[in-house]
Structure 1
Amino acid sequence: MPELGMKFSDRDELKHMLTNYAVSKGYSLWYEKNEAKALLVRCSKNEKWKPSCPFRLWASPMNKENSFQIKSLIDKHNCARQQKLGCLVTYKWIGKMLIPDILERPKFSYRKMAEVVRKDYGLKLLRVNPGSTVLIETNHTPDATHYFKRMYIFLKSIKDGWIEGCRRVISVDGCFLKGICRCELLTAVGRDANNQMYPLAWAVVPVESKETWMWFIDLLLEDIEMGDGRGLTIISDQHKGLMEAVKERSPSCEHRNCARHIYANFKKKGFTGVEFRRLFWRAEKATTDSNFRSYMREIRTMSTEAYEHLIERDPNTWCRAFFEPQTCCDAVENGISESFNAAIVEARKKPIITMLEEIRLYVMERMYNQKIKGHKWDMEICPSIRKRIEKMKEEQRYWDVIPSGEEEYEVKLAHEVYVVHLESKTCGCRAWQLSEDYVAVWFKTSMFGSCYRYPVKPINGANMWPDALFDPILPPRRRRMPGRPKVNRMKCPTENEGKHKINKTGMSISRCSNCHQEGHNKRRCPLLKEANKATVSEGDVEEGVSQDGISEDGVNEDGVSEDGIGEEEAVEEGDIEDHQEDEIEQQEDEIDHQENHHHQHQPVFFQHFVANKRRLPSKRIMKLKLRKKVVTKDGSGESTENPVTINYDKCVLLGLCQIL
């Protein structure tokens, strides 16, 4: 602990002591001033602009000796211990604390040292929660080094609660870890009596594949004692490896595919629009085979390809008309797994052991809170189920009920007629939404209490974990993912709809008025850019005189021969300007002629002339020559009666030679 007047050999020694103090006490210290001759330390960095904690330490070098001394200290704290040390715990500090390990393993990096598992986390879980399943697998290297491969956790209290109070429905999903270790987290989530998520098991695997899903499903079925999956319903997305694993490892279970993912793929195929969306969701929610076929006929009328696409996806996996009624669950979306993944999104950014501990703490706290909530309910049916029943009662108040016997009735609304058996709790509509005393026992508060009857046992901190009986397990080898590292999940286009802004996904993009192609406008038309480049290059060639433009008879297009002598002996300045204007007018007439006879759907390229703004090199050279008084040896140029004769073409050629 820091004390007033304490001396240190240098500033680094004082900072090392402050780091040890912050770690042991759990205070969030930070350096307000960190200079060579001054050090000011405060507490509660989150409140740096208005610090509420009075802790303050000031230290500076001594004048008469080479020491660093604490000269001012207020050692009082009124802040909560956050255990978030931030910038104090550096790799340098970790290295000093792990010197023995560094000497034993010189190839350790700082990043790996912070994640080395020195204690047996799985063994501690098994001791505190007996009956749980904790499995850790490693990869072995020739030098006897153990690297983490995968880990599976299923706590005994969660298992007992699911067996006693939950329906036999499990949602499975996988998500990426966002930390240094680019692994994936596989999760299995059930549903309690209030139709809320009930986390069951989770596992860390290197990659989501058929092999890892088979490994996860084998352990899951063994823990819940479901054998080949008979009587079990599994809801998942359309991951190819997952679908094949369920088919092989649990052939007798009912496998449902998330309808939201099916509809997203349906839209990607081009079947968009309000009518396609309406018919798809009506077909998905149809509870009878006749209603389903009616909606599918409407889809086939609109598009045969859309109908065939949905039939290929096997309606038995995404339509309620073909679901087993024994599960008492009409869910066809995997949103409950997405909810659990979102609840642990911050934990997924941390190292593996830290993440698993935060997941365990989240589940333990949730089990307790749900148990307290259930004790406060004074109704027989859970609240969310009660709301759903009241909504259905409001919608069904216009139905006519015709009795047939003591336990049989016929209900009718317009052309819809169904038979209801109260004793067997069945209805011809297969909606399974009977009210009051005929609600399934799975939705009652008594079953909700059974789910959360068994609490998850707490465990001591890492300093109390037993030493492992085997060599330490290193983090998994870093696997570089393709592309730029991403943190946020890639959302479906239908998820990007804002509250105050319409979604532009799928809308028609801009069309170019020049080439009539989509994806750009006239300003960025590639054809127009190429035409402009060609025009500029042609203008550069016309401005100069090159050897390539000389014809077979030795005279080029400008009338200049190879020896620089023009066809005419002399050209006056006015004649030069008239000649240039005639050429420009002739080119403009040619462009107008092309524009009038061009096809209306073909792009038109307009050439931009700059002759009126920029003098040609030949004209500029001529002007410079005429500014000076020219007197030849024969006396020409001395008077207007004896003027000098200038060969224009020869001057142009000589001027270009000087420039080049």
Structure 2
Amino acid sequence: MTVESLRTALHEKYGIRAKKQQCYRAKRKSLDVFEGNHGKSYSLLPSYRNEIRRTNPGSLVTLDYYDAEFNGVNRFRRIFIVFDALRSGFIKGCRPFIGLDGCFLKGPHGGVFLSAVALDGNNGLFPIAYAVVESEGNETWTFFLDNLKDILGADAHAKHWTIMSDMQKGIEVAISNLFPEASHRICCRHLFNNFRKDNPRLLLKIFFWKTARSCNELEFNDAMNQMNGICTEAYDCLMDRPLEIWSRVGYGETSKSDHIINNLTESFNNWVGHYRSKPILNMLEWIMIKLMVRIQKRYQKALAWKGNLTPNAWKKLNKSIQESRMCRVCPAGREEFEVHEVVGVSVVNLNLRTCSCRAWQISGIPYRHAAGAISWNRQDPEHFCDPCYSKDTNLLAHSGMIHPLMDEKMWPKTPSIDLYPPKPRRLPGRPRKNRRREQGEPAPASTSEVPKRSSVVTCKYCLQTGHNRRTYQRAQTARERATAARGRAASARGRAQTATKNIKSQTQGSEGAGTSGVTQQERWKKCKCKRWKKCTCKRSFLTKCDWHWWWFSTKCEWSQSWKTAKPEWHQRWKTAK
């Protein structure tokens, strides 16, 4: 509830005209009662850490703070939280694919919210860990990834991890130091935003996304050669970056994920976005509650699934089966096939589960070439999907349980640590609460900022797009001035005629209603000759015509006699116009 709506409610309900500052202070006090004070909530973080460790054994909560020996008081610095249910579910039932991202907190003490998100078998978000740090940089990302490596344990080196980020500050150095064997991807949407600053052409945009989605070298080289023919600088800009970080042609085949944008972490940030302005303890509690409910709902929903594949995997597989009808399969023996399309040929090996287009190996779901070969061999395509998309694997991911916490008044106190909030660092100007949108990003569809249907405007003078007649720069020609004058005159005549007609029809209607009870407009509508429709000059719609006004006020008997009489003045009116 905003301050202005609070003032309006007080005036409408109680007749009180409160000042804006009074309503603001009342709102702040009520929020401190229901949500807690921002500064005092930091003192409960040590007790919150101990309570999580007590109720959820195996969970990791790391609380870092500045020591009182150097700062006089213990001031909060960082906190890292991961629950055992999320850790075990990620290792047992998710792909070795992790997305990293950070977003700013909106409280008075600032901070950055870091998160690590994975994908389950149904391509749903599976949060692994989250943290609150003082800023985003190499040191904080090292702190986050070091704790993330600890919860993975022996799997940190046993599996080949794939980590995707948004090109944040210092994250590349932290990943190379703590996960040297992992593959690092960057979000192609952020890469494209930097790419189009120097290369704004529309064709370059088309070829950029075509190269990013290319799974084999043939498609990749074809798109890059077309880009090189348009702009050599754009070609060199992309080729300077390693292919394994931005194009599917360089992706590995172990992660079973073909994501080229990091929208999973951005979706998670939006999922918790409402709580980023609340006190830190209240925010962490609500995030824990949402995760607890989310895991339970996903588990109950997965129990009702029919079949062995997740619904999202079934959707992709059915699409591949439908597209495979346009392919011609030629068997070669020993589970090898040659699949012909309109534009190319692919080789499929069902024993090795490979296809020369590499789409099957990267995603783990048979593409149209493999689906056609499987159908020709009279086998079930479901058995050729990767086990990470199975129903049993998805149940393993959500089989854990986050145990609830008691009320904070019942938590055992931690007398050894008296934690204070970090020193506020206020920047000049009014603090921003809305996220700064990138160049070309559409506005959110909210009540205050609704995106326009079209951003193209057309000038009425020169009929060119990009400006309107108010911002028309060139002087008008004689023809344009005459056309504009005629248009303005016609508009003025139309407005005047409409007003005159309305006044006359009302006057005549009132007179006719007093004698016969029927208005002249109704009499005119009942006229059988419909002479006004046969009039070629159409003067009754553009200019004042005394004959038309007189004809509107007469009865239908006169219009019937006009067919035989044809008055001389009407003949003159038809020729004179």
Q: Same fold (TM over 0.5)?
A: yes
The answer as to 2:396 corresponding to 1:450 is yes
The answer as to 2:439 corresponding to 1:488 is no
**Superposed, which structure 2 residues align to 1:409-420 within 5 Å?**
409-420=337-348
Residue by residue over 1:542-567, the C-alpha shift from the partner in whole angstroms, topping out at 9 and shown as x without a partner, is xxxxxxxxxxxxxxxxxxxxxxxxxx
Q: Which runs of 5 or more structure 1 residues have no equivalent in the other structure?
A: 1-28, 36-84, 98-109, 515-660
**Superposed, which structure 2 residues align to 1:454-603 within 5 Å?**
454-481=400-427, 483-496=429-442, 500-503=452-455, 513=473
Q: Which residue of 2 aligns with 1:126?
A: 53
**Superposed, which structure 2 residues align to 1:273-422 within 5 Å?**
273=202, 275-422=203-350
Q: How far apart in 2 are the matches of 1:255 and 1:451? A: 24
**Cα contact 1:401–1:409 (8 A) shared by 2:** yes
**Cα contact 2:96–2:159 (8 A) shared by 1:** no
Q: Which residue of 2 aligns with 1:136?
A: 63
Q: Which residue of 2 aligns with 1:250?
A: 179
Q: How far apart in 2 are the matches of 1:166 and 1:430? A: 22
Residue by residue over 1:287-307, the C-alpha shift from the partner in whole angstroms, topping out at 9 and shown as x without a partner, is 002211111111111001111
Q: Which residue of 2 aligns with 1:584?
A: none
Distance 1:451-1:490 versus aligned 2 partners, 3 A rule: same
Residue by residue over 1:262-311, the C-alpha shift from the partner in whole angstroms, topping out at 9 and shown as x without a partner, is 111111223331x2221111111100022111111111110011111112
Report deviation, 1:430: 0.6
Runs of 4+ in 1 over 6 A off after TM superposition: 507-512
Of 145, 157, 167, the match for 1:217: 145
Distance 1:129-1:298 versus aligned 2 partners, 3 A rule: same
| Secondary structure, aligned partner of 1:403 | strand
For 2:221, give the aligned amino acid: R
**Cα contact 2:42–2:419 (8 A) shared by 1:** no
Q: CA RMSD in A?
A: 2.9
**Cα contact 1:134–1:151 (8 A) shared by 2:** yes
Report deviation, 1:375: 0.7
Q: How far apart in 2 are the matches of 1:234 and 1:170? A: 5
For 1:262, give the aligned amino acid: L
**Superposed, which structure 2 residues align to 1:83-102 within 5 Å?**
89=30
| Secondary structure, aligned partner of 2:292 | helix
| Secondary structure, aligned partner of 2:345 | strand
Report deviation, 1:152: 0.3
Q: How far apart in 2 are the matches of 1:482 and 1:423? A: 64
Distance 1:126-1:499 versus aligned 2 partners, 3 A rule: same
Q: How far apart in 2 are the matches of 1:314 and 1:255? A: 10
Distance 1:255-1:279 versus aligned 2 partners, 3 A rule: same
Report deviation, 1:327: 1.3
Q: How far apart in 1 are the matches of 2:279 and 2:179? A: 32
Residue by residue over 1:432-490, the C-alpha shift from the partner in whole angstroms, topping out at 9 and shown as x without a partner, is 13132101110111111011001111110101111114222111111224554111112
Q: How far apart in 2 are the matches of 1:492 and 1:369? A: 35
| Secondary structure, aligned partner of 2:276 | helix
Q: Which residue of 1 aligns with 2:200?
A: 271
Q: How far apart in 1 are the matches of 2:411 and 2:435? A: 35
For 1:218, give the aligned amino acid: D
Q: Which residue of 2 aligns with 1:178?
A: 106
Q: Which runs of 5 or more structure 2 residues have no equivalent in the other structure?
A: 1-9, 17-25, 367-380, 444-449, 458-464, 475-577
Residue by residue over 1:181-223, the C-alpha shift from the partner in whole angstroms, topping out at 9 and shown as x without a partner, is 2100110001000011100000100000011101111111121
Q: Which residue of 1 aligns with 2:533?
A: none
Q: Which residue of 2 aligns with 1:240?
A: 169
Q: How far apart in 2 are the matches of 1:265 and 1:339? A: 22
For 1:204, give the aligned amino acid: V
Higher normalized helix content (fraction of residues): 2
Distance 1:414-1:477 versus aligned 2 partners, 3 A rule: same
Pairs aligned (count): 421
For 2:192, give the aligned amino acid: Y
Q: Which residue of 1 aligns with 2:540?
A: none
Structure with more relative contact order (C-alpha pairs < 8 Å, separation 6 or more): 2
Distance 1:156-1:282 versus aligned 2 partners, 3 A rule: same
